[in-house]
Amino acid sequence: MVIAYEYGATILRAKDIWLTLGGNVILRDVDLEVKDLRRPGTICGQVVGLLGPSGIGKTCFFRILAGLTDPDRGQVLIGENAVPVERGMVGVVAQQYPLFPHRTVMGNLMVAGRQAGLNGDAAREKALGFLRRFKLEDRGGLYPSQLSGGQRQRVAIAQQFMCSEHFLLMDEPFSGLDPIAVDSVSSLIQEVANLHELNTIVVVTHDIPAAIEVADTLVLMGRDRDAEGKIIPGARIQTVYNLVERGLAYRKGITSSPEFMELMREILERFPTL
């Protein structure tokens, strides 16, 4: 069943991104637009899954979206006001959830708040709000080593939202996890996205089933080929899959559905050509 939805303003836009490293074209003419996805009667953020073969340039694009790497050409605009992205405007959660081991949970959040320009009282108030949202009220005085893996991930996400109001990039959040843990992380990503209408989470992953399960939009990156079948250097966006339109978004237990299996086959057949 397809859920009623509509699109609002553009809230993330990558325009004509080109990147060359060591004389090699890594990204070529990359265009990506994410709009505010609205579902009547509910708060609904956006989850975008970024897929592509290893070494295709996903990490480079990830860093450009975060403002950590400047492209040779093009720009990334974020928010309804289309502000050019700068370092620190987009939250980044790496695979190992890096936190300051010598600081408590509250201390980690306070440092992030201060880096975002908040004074002590404002940073503490915002940090307490995230601890309540992520069900970590009783963990504020603990150190990262005293937390479970899931709790550390929640703290890492809260830490990034202390700096970035609505945008979060997650690098391989499903890597090395068993199926139960993957389900837990997927639920958390959707939960965080739906805390605010404008929350937008971009998940870079090699895990195709997990990406289909967690995202409302899938973006497939790859390289074009010429008339003779030779690879044209530089990855770009090949296909954007609207999972809401396909009836795959916002559904629990979809992995055994015919629609899920059909999309899996479609993506897997594309991978060798990318």
Query: What is the secondary structure of 134-195 as a DSSP string?
Result: TT-GGGTTS-GGGS-HHHHHHHHHHHHHHH-SSEEEEESTTTT--HHHHHHHHHHHHHHHTT
Write out the residue limits of the CATH 3.40.50.300 domain(s) in the chain: 6-90+168-273
Does the pTM surpass 0.85? The reply is yes
Q: What's the CATH fold of domain 6-90+168-273?
A: Rossmann fold (3.40.50)
- Edge-to-edge strand order for the sheet containing 217-225? 83-84, 73-78, 6-21, 24-38, 231-242, 217-225, 46-51, 200-204, 167-171, 91-93
Report the distance separating Cα 113 and Cα 274, nearest Å. 41
The residue with tokens 């150190």 is 143
**Contact at 8 Å (CB) between 8 and 36?**
yes
Give the per-residue pLDDT at 184: 79
Give the per-residue pLDDT at 262: 94
Per-residue pLDDT of the chain (274 residues; tens, 9 = 90+): 668 899 999 999 999 999 999 999 999 999 999 999 999 889 999 999 999 988 899 999 999 999 999 999 999 999 999 999 998 889 888 776 678 899 999 999 998 888 778 888 888 998 998 888 888 889 999 999 999 888 888 888 888 888 777 899 988 888 777 777 778 788 888 888 898 899 999 999 888 998 999 999 999 999 999 999 899 999 999 999 999 999 899 888 788 899 999 999 999 999 888 8
Give the per-residue pLDDT at 24: 95
Strand (E) or helix (H) holding 214: helix 208-214
106 secondary structure, DSSP code: H
Give the per-residue pLDDT at 167: 92
Give the per-residue pLDDT at 103: 93
Report the distance separating Cα 86 and Cα 270, nearest Å. 34
Give the per-residue pLDDT at 188: 82
Give the per-residue pLDDT at 1: 60
Query: What is the secondary structure of 108-121 as a DSSP string?
Result: HHHHHHHHTT--HH
